[in-house]
Amino acid sequence: MTSLADEARLVLDNFADRTTGLFHPNLRLGVAGLSRAGKTVYITALVHNLLHGGRLSLFEAQASGRIMRSYLEEQPDDAVPRFQYEEHIRTILEDRAWPKSTRAISELRLTIEYESASGWSRMFSGGRLSLDIVDYPGEWLLDLPLLEKDFARFSAEALERARLPSRKAMAGKFLALLDGLDLAQPADEPTAQSLSAAFADYLKACRDDSTALSTLPPGRFLMPGDLEGSPALTFAPLPVEPGRTYPKGSLAALLARRYEAYKTVVVKPFFREHFARLDRQILLVDVMQAINAGPEAVRDLETALADILGCFRPGRSTWLGSFLTRRIDRILVAATKADHLHRDSHRQLEAIVRRLLDDAIARAKFSGAETDVLALAAVRATREATVMDGDDRLPVIVGTPAAGETIGRDTFDGETETAVFPGDLPSDPARLFLPNPGKPADGIRFVRFRPPRLERTAEGLTLSLPHIRLDRALQFLLGDRLA
């Protein structure tokens, strides 16, 4: 993925980070989520619970009272936008709305002062760890494999996906533009722009709720930011012949050059300046959206996970080696929105993600880092109850569906609370990969709920945000560093 010059720069950057860490220990946690997985909500809830002493019974350092205080500090990277925690928590608490997804990279430093669990360590000094949370779109991860692919290979893979039965209709306009196209003809900007726009529209259609596909590189076509309209984002795959050299100034030569520019000015800087400096990673996945969309979306999610895992630099380093090479030693894959299912289905949800992850690990030939799987809701928007349906007791979830959500013929106004029987996930994850036309997996009902109204104690104190297994996630990602 990188040249010798890139590796040398990585060593220098890492050495500077580690040297600073001798006097001020820090842990860089990458937080990425594929589309609509709730990445912004997860970071906001994590920070809120640590700042306000949330209910984290399985996070040992907090549960045992060893965390003295947590507070926000100025982030270390001046060129990276700050994660707007205060704005996001206000949106959740006051507006009872979900914050808008971030469209670019951001960062936040949360410092934790704690007592070591070791009496020997407590004799000398109190502990302090700065958690640098690096927030970035999961779609950017899917760009990293492009570093090892030339234009011909990228084009072949992209066009093969576009012609799949599940994608062909969405890619119809783009594929029609390719018909009869002379790749050796002199390049002109209108043709390049029309091809690029049609390809981007196809990728956006694939991400729609009804299809929920995940393997959609290049990621910046979905989130262009300030690069929108630039030559580096004005290209598209073409049916080029591998090994053939096209004339200078031809359409094929132009788009191939722009593809290489995309890797140089977009993908490599992200890898070098952010991704390669991570210590640990949590990847948030909206599995239920893929389940609702059908077997093709589930298989595509598995492919995306394999592509992502193939990009990590996993493994454990020696203390001395860590000054030269930074390795990700723990990766958590979390199925979000667990509060949309009754707890009786949480084990099945974790089993589904584990099946996806195990197969992805095998396909990516990934090894060396400790991995775990979790069903999680960073902010729990529902509570559980039981209703009678004749003689049957049905486990339901109760919450306030967002305005415009529908169940059957009912459309909700965003104020009315209701009970929903979400359905049952299959006990065998393999069933999700089988064709099941006309019926979502075992009738799963997926409804978007508003954030909860926070409870208050008898003394009038507002309690922290409720969650499902946020404490388990924190223990896996941070527990050993606060021991």
Per domain, the residue ranges of the chain are 4-142+270-380+469-482, 144-268, 383-443
- With a cut of 70, which residues of the chain have pLDDT below it? 1-23, 119-126, 313-326, 364-365, 367, 436-445, 456-462
Residue 321: count of CB within 10 angstroms of its CB = 12
Nearest-5° angle of CA 429, CA 434, CA 439?
95
CA angle centred on 142, ends 179 and 38, rounded to 5°: 120
Are the beta carbons of 64 and 45 closer than 8 angstroms?
no
- Cis status of the peptide bond prior to 218, with omega within 30 of 0: yes
How far apart CA 376 and CA 187 sit, in angstroms, is 50
Q: What share of the chain is helix, strand, coil (3-state, %, to 5)?
A: 45, 20, 40
The pLDDT value recorded for residue 27 is 95
Exposed/middle/buried for 63, CB within 10 Å: 0-12, 13-18, 19+? middle
Closest C-alpha among 173, 180, 216, 229 to residue 198:
173
pLDDT number for residue 231 = 93
403 burial type by CB count under 10 A (0-12 exposed, 13-18 middle, 19+ buried): middle
Q: What is the DSSP letter of 148?
A: G
The pLDDT value given to residue 329:
87
Question: To 10 degrees, what angle do helices 470-478 and 39-51 make?
Answer: 80
CB-neighbour burial class of residue 257 (10 A; exposed 0-12, middle 13-18, buried 19+): middle
- In this structure, the dihedral spanned by the alpha carbons of residues 440, 444, 448 and 451, taken in order and rounded to 10 degrees, is -160
Strand partners, 112: 70, 129
- Amino acid 326: pLDDT: 62
Report yes or no on whether pTM surpasses 0.85: yes
Q: Collect all residues with Cβ–Cβ distance below 8 Å to 167 and sequence separation of at least 6.
A: 161, 202, 206, 213
Q: Among 161, 256, 268, which Cα is nearest to 216's? A: 161
Residue 437: predicted pLDDT: 44
Look at strands 370-375 and 330-335 and give their pairing.
parallel
Exposed, middle or buried by CB within 10 Å (0-12, 13-18, 19+), for 42? buried
Dist. CA 255–CA 250, nearest whole Å: 9
Three-state SS at 104:
coil
Distance CA 65, CA 114 (A): 9
The answer to whether residues 308 and 356 touch, using CB atoms and an 8 Å cutoff, is: no
How far apart CA 31 and CA 279 sit, in angstroms, is 11
Q: What angle do CA 300, 467, 33 make, to 5 degrees?
A: 30
113 and 128 Cβ atoms separated by less than 8 Å: yes
Quick one: pLDDT at residue 317? 44
Orientation angle between helical segments 39-51 and 85-93, nearest 10 degrees: 90
Span 177-200, pLDDT tens digits: 999 899 999 999 999 999 999 999
pLDDT on residue 139: 80
pLDDT at 119: 60
In degrees rounded to 5, what are phi and psi of residue 424?
-120, 135
Q: Which CATH number fits domain 4-142+270-380+469-482: 3.20.20.100, 2.170.190.11, 3.40.50.300, 3.30.1360.120?
A: 3.40.50.300
Q: What are 66's two structure tokens?
A: 């060893």
Q: For position 316, what pLDDT does the model report?
A: 46
Q: Angle formed by the axes of helices 189-206 and 251-262, to 10°?
A: 50
**Can you spell out the DSSP letters for 305-336?**
HHHHHTT--B----TTGGGT---B-EEEEEE-
Residue with tokens 């928007």: 381
Q: Provide the 8-state DSSP code for 83.
A: P
DSSP H or E segment with residue 51: helix 39-51
Pick the closest to residue 40 from 135, 145, 176 (CA basis).
Answer: 135
Question: In the beta sheet, which residues pair with residue 108?
Answer: 133
